[in-house]
Structure 1
Amino acid sequence: MNQTEQQHEHYAETAFRADAIPRQAPPPEKSIWGKLGSNFDIARLPWGNYVGINPSEFEYEYSGGWYRDFEYMGEQDFHGFNHINELRWSKFVDEDISLIYRFFRFWFVFWTHLLSFIGPGGGKGGGWFFTSIVAVCTILFLFAADTILAALTPLAITVGLCGVATVFKTLFEKHSIRFYKSNQNWSDDVAFCRRSGLVKSFQGNFPFYEFDAFIEMAADMKGNQRHTLKVRHRYPQFSKDKHSGLPMEFTFPTDTGSIAERYAMWDMLGRYMDVSQPLPDIPRLEPFRHLDPTTKAFDEAGKRGRPATYWRDLYAKASEQELKQWREEHRQVVDAAPWGSRPDLMAQSVPGYGDSYTAEPEDVNAYGRFPSKSDRFVERAEANDAFPQNKRDSD
């Protein structure tokens, strides 16, 4: 059986290919699916024309968490209990536990992670912040206390609580995988499915090409901004939530840093769903690359340029400090990538799709700051010949 036959047997006829997006209906008026409140969209991200760079969010690059799970479970169990494999990228987890347990676990995780000296990715946690505040107060009121012991007691209690929280957080992260393996199941009913090209949800199943990616900004009462990647169904009249009336959308977590990270996440999701592309080369997908025909052919042709166990070997030897350094270096790669002003492939398939474009900065991180004279905003180029120039030679 040749490669083409293997792909036709493995992938459904509805599988997504960026060079074969069908003609679709015009999108509805924005007023139909716009949301009220403090959140609003600042950019709609382009389709196709992949840059080929993955986000540096710790769940996908340079974090030891995935390797700990993989080492404990083994490849067979890891396939089913990982949120992403070669078949689906799950967006919903179903736990076989009681509400009482969920309640106590939430507060246990909340306080241990808030007060721990160790933060995400091995960085400094909230424990250092609280200890520093109490330490400053101790110095200020040292001479007002009756005894030195009385002055140092609040600091000692804070250090003790944060130390206990650090221990519990470490134990939870080390041993929670045992509970996860037996009680937690990532759902195939709410997922982005590579084999079928469908996005499955409780509201129905819809083709991936009917979804658009947006950078959404939310502001708190102090004016602080945060940016989120939202992947939203273009035709909410068929998929909006019956109770809230809001359009169906999915949030993809990304690094708390630059807006470029949101572009990288959308780029990775597109390549994941596009069966003309190999699977994104991230640690969590490495054990399943040989199970996907396009990816297997790509790797066997030597185009990956890495050993089959590249990520596993790297994580088995790397220290947390090395992973942190590599993650910081990768963030710079993401920020420097040419995300802005790329042609949008979807403009060829959806009438009126490009009419709502606004000028886009060449450096997309300009969305997250006040415009300056150095920021260059330009219109997106035409997409007529964009995809063939970018398409990988993986067919």
Structure 2
Amino acid sequence: MAWINQESIRWATLPGSSWRWLLLKVFAKFTLILGGVGIFLASVAVTLLLDVSAEEKRQLFLEGFLPIVVYGGGGCALIWGGVSLIEHLFPSWIYKAPKGPLWEFNRRTGLVTAFRNPKRKRDAGQIAWQSPFADFDGYVHTGPTHQGLPLYYGAMVHRFREEALPLTDFQAASSNDEDHKALWNFWLQYMDSTAPLPDIPLFEPHRHKDPVTAEHDKRSGRNPRYWRDMDEATYKQKTDEMYKRCLKVFSFASR
């Protein structure tokens, strides 16, 4: 969960009780789908490969497969549907307010703030460390997947002190490093109060509130509803073009 505007971006995560509901739903859905596929394949195998009479096959289905479908599949379907219904009718029961933020990038002050672990009530909202963004460098780290392939993830590290912040909340680990370099470029522009906000849909409702951005948009004649009035086909085209430019720029820069 994020608080995002022209002044700051603050990140928090849902409390443990919310994650338990959501993980239960995902587990029930995954088990139901995987179990359904397994039962179907087992049924086909029994029908084609088992050399028994039709009556014996019918008995096997009734006594072997049917209880699994009714009790196992029915239970998973009930959990999946029940949590989904609660999520739709009473979202506040699941999506509870975070206990406290994890970190903040403040464009107005130029500071990066890391907060203490909000799982501990007395630490929620308490500052662990705070430093100017200009004192950090961006890094792309590499780690292996289970198959031994490279997996890239971004982080920012303080030049002089033992302070670091992983950036995987905004850009998950991926198989290419260009995404993480582009994200660091995003932070560089966002935290530069002398430059306009990055021109992405996320900031369009806030552009007029930032003096530098408002002046830039006035000079360039930018439509205040440039992204919001865009049709879906054009939106996809523009975002694809932006992504390709990022790949071109940061792939070249890494050579």
The TM-score with structure 1 as length reference comes to 0.47
Given that 1:219 and 1:226 are in contact with CA atoms closer than 8 Å, whether structure 2 keeps it comes out as: yes
What code does the residue aligned with 1:210 have? D
Question: Which residue of 68, 76, 100 maps to 1:154?
Answer: 68
Is 1:87 paired with 2:87?
no
Is 1:132 paired with 2:37?
yes
Question: Which residue of 69, 79, 87 maps to 1:172?
Answer: 87
Identical pairs, percent: 19
Per-residue CA distance 1:92-121 (angstroms, 9 max, x = gap):
45x7xxxxxx4443222112134447xxxx
Q: Please give the alpha-carbon distance, in whole angstroms, between the structure 2 residues aligned to 1:110 and 1:323.
A: 36
Question: Which residue of 131, 147, 150 maps to 1:206?
Answer: 131
Q: Please give the alpha-carbon distance, in whole angstroms, between the structure 2 residues aligned to 1:251 and 1:213.
A: 9
Partner of 1:294: 212
Partner of 1:61: none
Per-residue CA distance 1:24-72 (angstroms, 9 max, x = gap):
xxxxxxxxxxxxxxxxxxxxxxxxxxxxxxxxxxxxxxxxxxxxxxxxx
1:165: Cα distance to partner? Answer: 1.9
What code does the residue aligned with 1:301 have? R
Which structure's CA Rg is the greater one?
A: 2
Q: Please give the alpha-carbon distance, in whole angstroms, between the structure 2 residues aligned to 1:324 and 1:134.
A: 43
Per-residue CA distance 1:231-254 (angstroms, 9 max, x = gap):
121222xxx3xxxxxx42232332
Q: Please give the alpha-carbon distance, in whole angstroms, between the structure 1 residues aligned to 2:33 and 2:9.
A: 36
Given that 2:26 and 2:80 are in contact with CA atoms closer than 8 Å, whether structure 1 keeps it comes out as: yes
Per-residue CA distance 1:345-378 (angstroms, 9 max, x = gap):
xxxxxxxxxxxxxxx43xxxxxxxxxxxxxxxxx
SS at match of 1:106: helix
Q: Please give the alpha-carbon distance, in whole angstroms, between the structure 2 residues aligned to 1:258 and 1:163.
A: 40
Question: Cα gap change, 1:227/1:171 in structure 2, threshold over 3 Å: closer, same or farther?
Answer: farther
Question: Cα gap change, 1:276/1:335 in structure 2, threshold over 3 Å: closer, same or farther?
Answer: closer
SS at match of 1:135: helix
SS at match of 1:91: strand
What code does the residue aligned with 2:171 have? T
Q: Please give the alpha-carbon distance, in whole angstroms, between the structure 2 residues aligned to 1:222 and 1:341.
A: 27
- Higher share of residues assigned strand: 2
Given that 1:86 and 1:285 are in contact with CA atoms closer than 8 Å, whether structure 2 keeps it comes out as: yes
1:293: Cα distance to partner? Answer: 0.8
Given that 2:157 and 2:164 are in contact with CA atoms closer than 8 Å, whether structure 1 keeps it comes out as: yes
What code does the residue aligned with 2:45 have? L
Length, aligned pairs only: 231
1:208: Cα distance to partner? Answer: 0.9
Q: Please give the alpha-carbon distance, in whole angstroms, between the structure 2 residues aligned to 1:137 and 1:303.
A: 64
SS at match of 1:338: helix
Q: Please give the alpha-carbon distance, in whole angstroms, between the structure 2 residues aligned to 1:329 and 1:116.
A: 32
Q: Please give the alpha-carbon distance, in whole angstroms, between the structure 1 residues aligned to 2:184 and 2:156.
A: 8
Question: Highest relative contact order (Cα 8 Å, sep 6+), 1 or 2?
Answer: 1
Q: Please give the alpha-carbon distance, in whole angstroms, between the structure 2 residues aligned to 1:216 and 1:197.
A: 25
Q: Unaligned regions of 5+ residues in structure 2, if any?
A: 51-56, 115-126
Q: Unaligned regions of 5+ residues in structure 1, if any?
A: 1-80, 96-101, 118-125, 241-246, 343-359, 362-395
CA-based RMSD of the aligned residues comes to 4.0
Question: Which residue of 74, 97, 104 maps to 1:191?
Answer: 104
1:230: Cα distance to partner? Answer: 0.9
The TM-score with structure 2 as length reference comes to 0.69
